[in-house]
Chains A and B, each alone.
Chain A
Amino acid sequence: MPDMIKKAEEIFFRILMIISTVAIAAALLLILFSILYKGLPSLSWEMISQTPKGGFYFGKEGGILNAIIGSLYLSICSTILALIIGLPVAMYMNVFLIRHKKSLNLIRFFLDILWGIPSIVYGAFGFVIMIYFGLKTSLLAGIITVTLFIIPIMVRSMDEVIKTVPSGLLESALSLGSTKTEISYKVFLRQCIPGIVTAILLSFGRAIGDAASVLFTTGYTDSIPESLSDPAATLPLAIFFQLGSPIEEVRQRAFASAAILTFIILLISIVARLLSTKFNRNKIKF
């Protein structure tokens, strides 16, 4: 008899487990479906090829090209900056510090904690820097803030990949007389390209999708930014502001803009998967 109860309990929990797993997958489908269902009907070529015209915010003609370009500028620049800072750090950790396990753990610990700081705090900090240096809301201030925000993500996810390189590779390259710099950029980089590309794309996705960090720093404008000191519109903020409008046409456009952003994010995720299989050919197998 107790066996029956045991069995029943296990079956009961197994059913609950399957339900929660299916529910998680269903949530994703639900999100994608509802955004695309609401957004696609109001999506038009005009939306993505024009900047807002007069009366755009009352439902008249125009598009969100300003926000698309602004977001691309912002996230491409900050991804490149974060790469310039992040790749050397990730390499330094795994090539130069590989024997110092304690400091390595400490650094990882720090990076994990930095990763956990929410973007609104980075945004507020960006604002403090702006006040301090007398900057106005501008593309530059936004790029600095977003760079700070994505560096921990970039370094930590690169580190996770570089960490898996067997130490034999480091040792044999050293014994052949390579300097550690050469090992970093000629051996390890090539070995880890797929993972590094994924890390870059992941950071890029974070940069393009985050709203809270650019709210204070990048501002919002109807024109396409022409220099680093111009304010710039960004896609997440475009969605956010348009959705707050009482006018139905403008809200429709918010859904369309959300569909565009979702599409970009999905594209990034698919490209990351494809690239990582493609670049795998250069890898030395052990």
Chain B
Amino acid sequence: MSGLYRKWIDRINEAWMFVFLLLIIILPFILAAGLYLKSYLIISENHLSDLLFTDIWKPAENKFGFAPFIISSVWVSLSTLVLAVPVCLLSSIYITQYARSSVLKLMQPVIDILAGIPSVIYGVWGVLMIVPFSVKAAEWFGIHTTGYNIFSGALVLLVMIIPFILNILIEIFRIIPEELSEASLSLGATKWETIKFVLLRKALPGIVSAFGLGLSRAFGETIAVLMVVGNVIKIPHNIFDAGYPLPALIANNYGEMLSIPKYDSALMFAALILLAVILVFNFASRVLIMRLERYA
């Protein structure tokens, strides 16, 4: 009796677990389908190339050109990446190759806490410290800004994505077999040469994908960037221009999107672009990492 009972519990539980698993697996498809259905109105009435490559944004006059937002997004995330690459690489090499293990013990909580700080707090910090700094930095180049510009956005994002990238890099350097480094060292190479020619080369796919994931994280970050980036609808020309990235566009206009026809559809289209770009980046990076893990 009790055996039968236990068996049934097991069956029901397995079905239950399986249903939830399916739910999670189809979630990204539902996400994409939902956003697509909602943005169908605007995609069907305008050419895709018009939407993506024109720069006139007047929702009230039915003109939706996403170029300023897309280009701002690219500016912000690429400048973040340029700043993040040296810092993350150097620091992760130091932590995994040179430093004593106590340094990792010390840095792990630092990384965890940095990763856990909500983006709105980063935004507040950006307003407090990065924006004034950005004004000064622009002055060195003889440019006057309010401080609310792409440079500020990139600096705030830099600190936000560092813990994320660093975690992946540390993991990647760990799965590179130690024998490779030992072989190189035994042939008389110095530690630094070994890192340069063996470790970095071996880990290259992993490093690329870590930064790919970081880039897509930067691409989708909303509130912190929105608070410091200026939000002016215009194609930025240098790093001290104000920008208006896609997530900021969505977040800033949710209030009025139901009062102008097709506005909500346009904003959902913006979310769809974000989702598409991020899925592509994530997909490529994860595939690279999986290959590396299997290989190592």
Contact = CB atoms under 8 A, between A and B. Distances in A.
Contacts of A182: 6, 10
A23 B110 CA distance: 11
Interface in A1-46: 6-7, 9-10, 13-14, 16-21, 23-25, 27-28, 30-31, 34-35, 38
A255 B129 CA distance: 13
B23 interface: yes
Interface stretch (B48-56, B90-98, B135-143): B90-98
A125 B98 contact: no
Nearest to A234: B120
A212 interface: yes
Given A31-B125, A209-B118, A109 B286 contact: yes
Interface stretch (B60-68, B175-183, B276-284): B276-284
A155 B125 CA distance: 31
B282 A24 contact: no
A180 interface: yes
Q: Is the interface of A mostly helix, strand, loop or mixed?
A: helix
A236 interface: yes
A188 interface: no
Contacts of B91: 17, 20-21, 24
A152 B99 CA distance: 33
Contact of B120 (A10, A30, A118, A236): A236
Q: Is the interface of B mostly helix, strand, loop or mixed?
A: helix
Contact of B87 (A7, A23, A117): A23
A271 interface: no
Most buried by A among B14, B18, B35: B14
Given A21-B91, A131-B38, A120 B124 contact: no
Given A117-B278, A210-B119, A24 B166 contact: yes
Interface residues of A, number: 85
B222 A21 contact: no
B290 interface: yes
A68 to B, nearest CB: 14
A212 B247 contact: yes
A205 interface: yes
Contact of B98 (A14, A85, A105, A121): A14
A135 B290 CA distance: 41
Contacts of B38: 128, 131
Contacts of A143: none
B17 A91 contact: yes
Contact of B124 (A14, A127, A208, A258): A258
A208 B118 contact: yes
Interface stretch (B145-153, B232-240, B266-274): B266-274
Interface in B172-195: 190-193
Contacts of A129: 34
B13 interface: yes
A96 B15 CA distance: 11
Nearest to A208: B118
Contact of A269 (B87, B112, B217, B219): B112
Given A116-B217, A116-B278, 16 more contacts: A6-B192, A10-B191, A14-B192, A16-B86, A19-B90, A21-B103, A86-B20, A88-B16, A93-B21, A105-B290, A120-B220, A121-B274, A121-B275, A127-B268, A254-B124, A265-B117
16 contacts: A9-B192, A25-B107, A85-B20, A85-B23, A88-B16, A92-B18, A120-B271, A151-B24, A180-B10, A181-B13, A211-B119, A212-B247, A258-B121, A262-B117, A262-B121, A269-B112
Which 9 A-B pairs give the minimum distances between C-beta atoms? Answer: A118-B220, A209-B118, A17-B94, A124-B271, A92-B17, A10-B192, A212-B222, A179-B10, A236-B120
Interface of A: 6-7, 9-10, 13-14, 16-21, 23-25, 27-28, 30-31, 34-35, 38, 85-86, 88-89, 91-93, 96, 105, 107, 109-114, 116-125, 127-129, 131-132, 148, 151-152, 155, 179-182, 184, 202, 205, 208-212, 215-216, 236, 239-240, 243, 254-255, 258, 261-262, 265-266, 268-269, 273
